[in-house]
Structure 1
């Protein structure tokens, strides 16, 4: 069995340990840096959570709009977080409550990849919208629009999720592959077998949102492998 390394952040510094389990990472102003988003720490449902909203000046979609974890470098392993999204009062008709995880972020935030969800699509009456509930993308070369046009249905799928509910996302990354598990499911809801940044990429992790979304995050765990 491969040795696992657990991460935790204490007073803004990265610590590594060697037990075979992950530890929660405290999300606060010391452990996160906003990138084209506003970020606050508040109580929701009695829990300390991080609220993230995209800056209104950023008009394009699938951009580096996240709260980035400080002093964390991730290559292979798993990332778990609970997310909840609501539509802002200013949200437009086509806004979907976009929320997810960015990973393999480079130093200047000019390259990364991520998986996000569109909770309003999960239980829509339109089957096509349902099929677009989960999305992979890679910035800057592979936004959802390009992937959907060139490879329809390959980089997105359906999941039974909705707005204003806590959803557990777990992404497992190994080499060129990423698997997404939702709400402790035994089997992955989504597979990406050709991560666009390549199998040797390492980088940061971000709590990602897009237009029209009031996003909340809690219970973050990172469990990297030593590959």
Structure 2
């Protein structure tokens, strides 16, 4: 049973890492880096995630720091929510290897929204090119920490990456909009580091 907490947070240098309820297709570890706890997921084939302890999340904001690698097709780091089972959830993630690429087509694919399993990225790219993936501005360090903030409503998600004043990605949500856990997420053959997670449910969230 997930604990009924008002918010889930990692405050830099003071609070422990979030309690991991369950990890899917990965092994997670908690390490200290410059005095703060880091949740680290290892690399394996397929997507994976670690569900964090907290109340079911429906609407509100999700904030965290993520760190991937500048390795082509092997670094996909982000956050999932509305997790219904091991394969059904929504997620937003970064492709750090596309941050500074000179390939203009790839540069436009730095942040991605998916709703699994019905709307994976290949389907979204093929049917609605450029709608569910966008560039990130200002351009982050592909090997460094990137702040990620999601503003989630019943119908829409707005994604702010790397401290930009304007959202890098605004999309209509796909699939069934339900309450569910939040999870730290990595993609196929990707590892990832996560810190400073803060989940704030909206005051208008249905009870």
Measured after TM superposition, the shift of residue 47 of structure 1 is 2.1
Change (3 A) 1:23 1:147: closer
Aligned equivalent of 1:179:
158
Residues 38 and 55 in structure 1, CA contact (< 8 A), matched pair in contact too: no
Q: Structure 1 pair 118/96, CA: closer, same or farther in 2 (3 Å)?
A: farther
Runs of 4+ in 1 over 4 A off after TM superposition: none
Distance 2:160 2:127 in 1: 25
Q: Which of residues 93, 99, 106 is equivalent to 1:122?
A: 99
Structure 2: runs of 5+ lacking an equivalent: 11-15
Structure 2: distance between partners of 1:134 and 1:165: 15
1:68-101 deviation line (CA, Å, top 9, x unaligned): 11343100000000011126xxx7xx41411001
Q: 1:137 and 2:114 equivalent?
A: yes
In structure 2, what is the Cα distance between the partners aligned to 1:32 and 1:217? 16
Instruction: Name which of structure 1's ranges 112-121 and 211-220 shifts more when overlaid on structure 2.
Output: 211-220
Alignment of 1:19-30 (within 5 A): 24-25=9-10, 26-28=16-18, 30=19
Query: For residues 56 and 86 of structure 2, what CA distance do their matches in structure 1 show?
Result: 13
Instruction: Confirm whether residue 40 of structure 1 aligns to residue 29 of structure 2.
Output: yes
Offset of residue 210 of structure 1:
1.4
Secondary structure at the residue paired with 1:49? Answer: strand
C-alpha separation in 2, matches of 1:174 and 1:201: 11
CA contact (8 A) 2:44 2:190 kept: no
C-alpha distance after superposition, 1:144-166 (max 9, x if no partner): 00000000100100012232211
Aligned to 2:201: 224
Cα 1:205–1:27 change in 2 (3 A) is same
Are 1:170 and 2:170 matched, yes or no?
A: no
Alignment of 1:51-130 (within 5 A): 51-56=40-45, 58=46, 63=47, 65-86=48-69, 94-106=72-84, 108-130=85-107
State the superposition RMSD in angstroms: 2.0
Q: Which structure 1 residue ranges, 5 or more long, are not aligned?
A: 1-11, 17-21
- Match of 1:66, SS state, is strand
Partner secondary structure for residue 87 of structure 2: coil
User: Which residue is 1:4 aligned to?
Assistant: none
DSSP 3-state at the match of 1:202: coil
> In the aligned structure 2, how far is the partner of 1:71 from the partner of 1:169?
19
What TM-score, normalized by structure 1, do the two folds share? 0.79
Secondary structure at the counterpart of residue 153 of structure 1: coil
User: Does 1:13 find its partner at 2:3?
Assistant: yes
Q: TM-score under structure 2 normalisation?
A: 0.86
Question: Aligned partners of 2:69 and 2:34: how far apart in 1?
Answer: 14
> Is the counterpart of residue 148 in structure 1 residue 133 in structure 2?
no
